[in-house]
Homo-oligomer: A and B are copies of this chain.
Amino acid sequence: MAIIVDKVQKRKDIALASKEIFFQNGINDLTIAQIAKTAGVGKGTIYEYFKNKEDIVFEIVNILIQERNIEVEKELAKVTTTKEKIKLFSRFFYSPEDAEIRQLYKEVISIILANPNSEMIAFQSDCISGYFQWFELLIEEGIQNGELREDAKEFSRGLFALSEGIFIKSQVTHIYDDVELEIHRFIDALFNLLEVK
């Protein structure tokens, strides 16, 4: 045997170095050569820890998502109504605090759309399905509470996708510019119909 390094930690170190480049100069300057230079390792070393360039992007997302989930848990304790909880979830798509992770999320969506493969989709499914179950649970609870009508559960799957749709449209056109407003407008109108008066 020879030197044994902490592969998991080194993977994170390289990802963190990449994160810096990404948030400073965008994806276009995120070249393997640049990452290697910033991380202080050789180009070949990168491929000891990552399958390819996309793999690096996914690792960064992983790190940021985990950090963010902790924050979300805290925020969740502060709100009471189902509507507020749902709105809390949608913050991802417009809040200034999430600007960086959102930027990265855009890249991930772009990568998967351009080059779908089961590994990436599995990765993304894992990230999303947690939120998704939480989302369905919230609606369910709202119904149990007597806060929402029985048929509210029909909307959970669609409502989950709505924010994403508005976000993507806001990125791709200039028709939806105020994402927060757009999402809230829809949620308010829907809960107006669904809330038991």
Contacts and interface: CB of A to CB of B under 8 A. Distances in A.
A119 B37 CA distance: 34
A13 interface: no
Contacts of A132: 175
A107 interface: yes
B110 A155 contact: no
Contact of A172 (B27, B113, B151, B188): B113
B166 A128 contact: no
A174 B172 CA distance: 23
Nearest to A116: B171
Of A109, A165, A194, most B-chain CB atoms within 10 Å: A165
A172 B109 contact: yes
A43 interface: no
Given A158-B185, A161-B165, 5 more contacts: A111-B114, A113-B168, A155-B186, A158-B183, A161-B166
